[in-house]
Amino acid sequence: MGDTPPILRDDTKFASGKIAIFQYAAVALFLYLISGFWLLQVRDPEYYSEQADRNRIKSLPILAPRGKILDRDGRVVVDNHAAFTLILSRENLKESHLYPIAQGLDLDYERLQRRLASFRSRARYEPIIVKDELTPGELAFVEAHRDPDTFPEMELIPSFRRLYPDNGVGAHLIGYVGEISESELNLAEFARYNQGDVIGKAGLERQYNDILMGVDGQRRVVVDNRGRHREVIAMKPAVPGKSLQITLDLDLQVVAELAMENRKGAVVALDPRNGEVLALVSTPAYDPNKFAGRIRSDDWRLLLNNPDVPLLNRAIQAQLAPGSTIKPFIALAALETGAIDDSFRVYCNGGATFYGRYFKCHVRGGHGMVDLHKGITQSCDVFFYHVGNRTGIDAIARYAREAGFGSKTGIDLTSEAEGVVPSSEWKMRNFRQRWHAGETISVAIGQGALTVTPLQLAYAFGGLAMGGVWHRPHLVRDPNRQERPRFAQINPANAAKVVAGLYGVVNEGGTGVRAHLPGISVCGKTGTAQLASNELLRSSTLGQTLKDNAWFVGFAPCESPEIVVAALYESGEHGNVAAPIVRDVIKAYFDKKARQSQARMLAEARRAVPQVGPVRP
């Protein structure tokens, strides 16, 4: 009767177990709170104080405008225009908001997600730029939805968008800007930049990025618990990028672009007296304005898949056979080495046999008796077959390299190509084969393994026209620049003989008469370069796609040159069709020079006339 009922004993054990669990939980909670207090007040008070500040203080970037690009006359070639950029504040960002934001701003949702993921390793207070230039409709969407109750993560900041010339004028030499990529972040030249920065990607924009790019500022604002701005507490103004004045003459650039309209190729105009680039054209071009924000995937895909390769800067990257434009340098090498002299003559009857193979001249009936002057003027292949055979490949290679072929000119643009100057050593190094004398015959007329760029041709002819003085091509004027020209040890008399032949090409019924200009002595050389043998072209459908390339290089005046122009017209078939392109650029140069001279004379005349005031009684 005095024993506790079994049920009551079980209830007491159950209650005491629950009390023990509660006590343990209470102790654990107390220890957790104590450890948290210790972290906040003892171990990392500065860190948690900073985190608390960030909950009420927001940092917003002030984007710096890039420097302008001006032509040689001070005219603006590349400018900026004001725009609004949308950023997402990651402190308020909700994943569920991404899809409606992407829809409202015409953004690719998956691309936006990937962009967000790329910032996950960065500090949360760093904003993410998601769109560079908003249309009026997109601005209206942001203004209507960025309140604290809808999409508080959206922030609008003033920005500047690059404004390039219309129709892609100067696209390849100017380049374009874009957001730095993961691979570029690993390059030494971009070591000081961060993810999300907009940098120069090509052309002058890349070459002089550090000068053109400014330093972003920062605005710190106090926000309430709903993300609304209450007060600006600090402001670090942005530092704009420096402007860049280049040697380009915008008038000549436009004339050259118009001359190349609907054609594939390149034009380069230099001042041989100092190496300044007056015009640099590559066609087809692209519109850099499409890159000024973030280029659309469809636009990028069209550029990459275009068979005409509009992203290729043909002026400095196209490595092609020069055809007969190499003949002046073959002649110079022969004269310098003594392989030929003034008495050397060849009879051309339309072709000649060398080492068991028959080589044709471009004139079927031949040129008759040919000396050096006529050989250059009429571009006789048979004459230069003999000259090249006498001179030898290694002597040709030595003087070709002296003229600037086979190596970069050093122009201040990225990705310049070197071209190829073949020699016996070159063939052994690259193919482990000996050079055959028969191969020299093709090189002597600018075929075979020999390749050049349009810039190299302009540079080489400029040095020849100056009597063996070469100035490095450059696009930016630097008053502190002290670079010395490169001198070649060539006989001025030999150079004069070659230049006399180049005068005959244009002015004595030669192959380049279409470059003739009344009152201006123009020297030049045509070139027609095969991409495949005529027999192959006639016997296949390739004939329509592998037509000969047309070259022409000219300079003026012949006696004391001020401008040298090289033109490549791909698939132009005959060098004489490239001659008018060069003629138009040279004419534009001297027409402008005459106008400027006339304007100066008029201004001086006005200053010389005494100012007569009103007569007083």
Active-site residue set: 324
Q: Which residues pair with 434 in a beta bridge?
A: none
Output the furthest CA–CA distance in the chain (Å, rounded).
150
Amino acid at 229: H
Contacts of 179 (CB under 8 A, 6+ apart): 196, 197, 198, 199, 294
- Give the DSSP letter of residue 44: S
- Give Cβ neighbours of residue 410 (< 8 Å, ≥ 6 apart): 416, 472, 473
Q: How far separated are the first and last CA of the chain, in Å rounded? A: 150
Cα-Cα-Cα-Cα dihedral sign, residues 488, 490, 492, 497: negative
Six token digits for residue 143:
């203004």
- Provide the residue type at 414 as one letter: T
Q: Confirm if 188 and 23 have CB atoms less than 8 A apart.
A: no
User: Three-class SS of residue 237?
Assistant: coil
Q: How far apart are CA 67 and CA 78, in angstroms?
A: 9
Q: Which of 270, 295, 107 is nearest to 202 (CA)?
A: 295
Burial annotation 225-242 (CB, 10 A radius, 16+ → b, else e): eebeeeeeeeeeebebbe
Quote the CA–CA distance of 66 and 173 in Å, as a whole number. 17
Whole-number CA gyration radius for the chain: 35
